[in-house]
Chain A
Amino acid sequence: MAKKTEDVRRKLAITAKKLRIKAAELAVTAREKENVRRKLVVTAAKLHRKAKELAVTAREKEDVRRKLVVTAKKLKVSRETLEKKILERTKDLDQSRVKCEAILASIGDGIVVADKEGKITYVNKTFEDMVGWKTKNVLGKYMVEVVPREDEKGEVVLLKERILSQVLSGERVIADVTQPFYYIRKNKSRFPASSIVTPILLSGEIIGIVETFRDITKEKNIDKAKTEFVSLASHQLRTPLTSIRWALASLKRDRLPDEQNYVVSGAHEAAAQMAATINKMLMISRIEMGGIDQKRTHVSLQTVIGKVVRLFDGDRERHALELAVECPRQLRARVDEQLLIEILSNLLNNAYNYTPKGGKVTIRAAQEDEMIRIDVTDTGYGIPQAEQGRIAEKFFRASNVASREEAGTGIGLYMVYNIARLIGGTISFVSEENKGTTFTLLFPS
């Protein structure tokens, strides 16, 4: 019995052992499975996230696709609009190009456009007609090669160096009737021309030049005719006047009775006045035609003023006027002496003529910076306030003196203003009726 029991117990022990081993094995397996499960959970979570992400991406891609479709549609519309607009603009451009060409072709002046190197990029029809060169022969060439510029004597003017460089520095260069030059045609003949050369600016930068020029043969001929007429007319006026002056002078010499001498002297003075007027008119004609060549020399102002004063000493004595001259001895200027004498003569003569007997005239000269200032002051009749604006007009005479016996033509001051401008100066005045007048000449020394 005991043995049986022992056997049972042994068997039970073995079984228990086996069971323990099995339990241990199961525990390991369970741990492993738990590990696998955990990993599976992590993987599942990852997959879940990925799935979510993919869903988002898909949605986004769908959005993009939709947007692309919309954009494509829009682009198609834009392209169509653009094409339409381009067509319209091309038509506009064509129209304005045709218009411009028609305008340029219809202009009576020759037009030539060049780039900033001076090479021709355009010429108009008038250019072709005037100089005989066709557009296709001149494009890309220098203006100076195609149409040489000459002066009066036939010497070539270096346009490229002189005018072009001036224009390319931004200046507008004008050559008018008073400074003519000649252009030489394809057939080597030439014509007098005047021209305006203007820079073409794009946002302040010079990109080229435009020159317009015209044939001034007709103007030159008219100018010549006018000069000839004026010199002929003045000669024809002077000839009888000379005889009158000498005849009257010869009568004066014969010691006439007082009454006759008075008449003859008056006539003699009037003839002298007329001779002076003819000279003034000639001078004006020359100034207006730009025909005065200035001869600038260094002159002493004291010497020039002295000469002018002596010219009118007779008048000063006759009018019983006092004269004062204030001029520093060393004062000098570089100026055309004859023109300066002409200005001062007129101012002094006016001061003498329009100042009542016993009055005083003062000539004051001084340096003012780069300028010379000469004041001619009188204690005369003055210029009425209301008429002061008209004083520089040709043939204008102030009402308070026109009625007096003093002779005057109204061209003296017109001439003075013009000559002053010629020498680079200005004339100004202050005047008060019955107190006097100061005329001021200001010119570069």
Chain B
Amino acid sequence: MRIEHKHVLIAEDDKFLAGVVGKFLSAQGLQVTIAHDGREAVEIMEKTLPHLLLLDILLPVLDGHGVLKILQGKKIDCPVIVMSNLSDKLVQKKCKDMQVKAYFVKSDLDEATLLPAIKKFLR
């Protein structure tokens, strides 16, 4: 799949990390938007439906689970990849039950793993 000009929303409160990941994805030709909390992410999703959401779980204002619940409630159909440093199996299961396509533990994740996953699940 051609990924140029596809829109990816990164919901990540760590501004530095969001910037670095965003820079990497931009370099691959993707159009990247960054939201720093859950509510901001939902607002952006409602305005411009991205082709994929990269979602952190521990987010201020509204956490990742909350974001997923709202998206489900509003029937916003967008593939979601979770990137979180929570490795608890229960959290992972909760996400998979909410239609999350893939769950990555951030500290174990590298570019070589993330990029193919994004390509695979882009809407």
Contacts and interface: CB of A to CB of B under 8 A. Distances in A.
The answer to whether A and B belong to the same complex is yes
Contacts of B72: none
A90 interface: no
B110 interface: yes
5 contacts: A239-B106, A243-B16, A275-B108, A276-B108, A282-B87
Contacts, number: 55
Contact of B107 (A242, A247, A253, A293): A242
Interface string B14-48: 10110011011001000000000000000000000
Given A239-B106, A245-B110, A250-B23, 7 more contacts: A234-B85, A242-B106, A247-B16, A249-B111, A253-B24, A276-B108, A279-B108
Query: DSSP class of A's interface residues: helix, strand, loop or mixed?
Result: helix
A250 B106 CA distance: 15
A422 interface: no
A231 B88 contact: yes
Interface in B1-22: 14, 16-17, 20-21
Interface residues of B, number: 21
Interface of B: 14, 16-17, 20-21, 23-24, 27, 58, 85-89, 105-111
Contacts of B14: 239, 242-243
A427 B91 CA distance: 32
Contacts of B17: 242-243, 246
Interface in A262-280: 272, 275-276, 278-279
Contacts of B108: 275-276, 279
Interface string A113-149: 0000000000000000000000000000000000000
A235 interface: yes
A233 to B, nearest CB: 11
A243 B21 CA distance: 9
Contact of B21 (A239, A246, A253, A278): A246
A243 B20 contact: yes
Contacts of B88: 231
A272 B107 CA distance: 8
Contacts of B86: 231, 235
B24 A234 contact: no
A362 B58 CA distance: 44
B27 A253 contact: yes
Contacts of A279: 87, 105, 108
Nearest to B85: A238
A231 B109 CA distance: 18
A241 interface: yes
Contacts of A247: 16, 20
Lowest 3 A-B CB distances belong to which pairs?
Answer: A238-B107, A238-B85, A275-B107
Contacts of B89: 293
A243 B13 CA distance: 12
A249 B110 contact: yes
A249 B106 CA distance: 14
A153 B23 CA distance: 47
A246 B16 CA distance: 10
Contacts of A245: 107, 110
Nearest to A234: B87
Nearest to B87: A282
A246 B115 CA distance: 13
Contact of B24 (A250, A272, A275): A250
Contacts of B24: 246, 249-250, 253
A239 B85 contact: yes
Contacts of B16: 243, 247
